[in-house]
Structure 1
């Protein structure tokens, strides 16, 4: 009989204060952000406090889950439940990015050609339905589009390499080779950090040298929303892998029981796939 079968049929945690405390932190963030955006002096400070509170609650919450797992309270059914939960979470993220890809597709394939057809020549005779553009009324300050070389291409190489190093680390863990797993996972985290620094440099270059901003028409808004949200997901994935790395160094996980590693790996590979779509659609087409 396997160790998974010897664990409880289904673990039910005791009543916890974490959900209500996290909800209070989210409520505080929402209210303070509203005040901050409306130029209320206390908004920024209250937002920082609420965010710190939420992060503290999440730290305690995930810490409890890790403790329960290490104490052997999670059996096969809990493992299945976590896998389904992570699968649906990633599916929701797919739909999230699909909305932004759809907005970009609509702007390029429908809105721009419509505004540039013969029926609109009387209103905007100088408008060219090329992508990117400054809009039919020419109200957007002129800018240059971001090219695929060199930064986006380097970032693509970084993410693809990180996917390979993460896969090597996973196979090493499954073979119960802990030290190689730690080394390759650390390399994955390092590549994620380098990607974030490169994207920050790309944004500085866009603002200072290309005059490309979030307000630069439909191109600027879709560019920064797609790449910015992807960068945020890279940040979250890097944090997830960093926690997994710390647990791996502390001796957590085994060759048979390491879903936290697998869940973070699923998320990271999803981030890689999204970037490939971004690289083709945003930078090349």
Structure 2
């Protein structure tokens, strides 16, 4: 029996866009603190975030079902990869805004010198170097895992499991750095920029780890084949993007900024 793809319009992209827009508007409104709007705005932000997670879950479920059953047409597969490229592009510009804020503060410091006395940046040779090694190694192991899928007797599960172990180590080391930091997010604009940027990157590492964990579970259940690796490949793209952002962050914040 030949598998035929079902042609229907999925509601998840539109619903996801609406929930993201609602969350952004609620966040902006809550920042303009007034007694009448603050509580309702935060409630709207929480509800929008919950709805966004729900729609993303069902969208991911449908996508994984199509990719693992091999029912995706070539056009849909190409469009999914194009959408992923556009998503990574928007994420790149999102991070650029934080790098821009940091460089603006560093090149034109308010106190006339950089780094300011309230911001004692960690040495790039300590914990940041360890995290850099962990992420670069994880990028190599996930690439090896993908290569193993093309071999008849390959062991992609082992390499992917090693990648997830490295990501857990990265998150743990990052938490330890936050816990032992000599400054906080309230240490002026510079401290806020540092923690927002590194924290946002840490969140992306966590999301990438969840995506790779899902791929690991599907791979363990033999849901993948050589013709249905779209979700796995796009998760790897995302992971390489996270690694590239960290290299820029390490070079800018830790090496140059300190």
CA distance in 2: counterparts of 1:272 and 1:215, whole angstroms: 27
Distance 1:106 1:79, change over 3 A: same
Alignment size in residue pairs: 252
Whether contact under 8 Å (1:7, 1:74) holds in the other structure is: no
| Secondary structure, aligned partner of 1:107 | helix
| Secondary structure, aligned partner of 1:194 | helix
Whether contact under 8 Å (1:29, 1:46) holds in the other structure is: no
CA distance in 1: counterparts of 2:240 and 2:16, whole angstroms: 32
Correspondence for 1:283 among 216, 230, 254: 254
The within-5 A match list for 1:110-189 is 111-112=108-109, 127=111, 129-134=112-117, 142-177=118-153, 180-189=155-164
Whether contact under 8 Å (2:88, 2:238) holds in the other structure is: yes
CA distance in 1: counterparts of 2:102 and 2:126, whole angstroms: 23
| Secondary structure, aligned partner of 1:174 | coil
| Secondary structure, aligned partner of 1:12 | coil
CA distance in 2: counterparts of 1:46 and 1:175, whole angstroms: 49
Deviation at 1:22, TM superposition (A): 7.5
Distance 1:143 1:282, change over 3 A: closer
The within-5 A match list for 1:29-108 is 31=26, 50-108=48-106
Q: CA RMSD in A?
A: 3.0
| Structure 2 runs not aligned, ≥5 long | none
The within-5 A match list for 1:213-224 is 213-224=184-195
1:157-181 Cα shifts (integer Å, max 9, x gaps): 1101101110110000122445x10
| Structure 1 runs not aligned, ≥5 long | 1-5, 116-126, 135-141
Please say which structure displays the higher CA radius of gyration.
Answer: 1
1:229-270 Cα shifts (integer Å, max 9, x gaps): 111111111111111111111112212331111111111111
TM-score, normalised by the number of residues in structure 1:
0.76
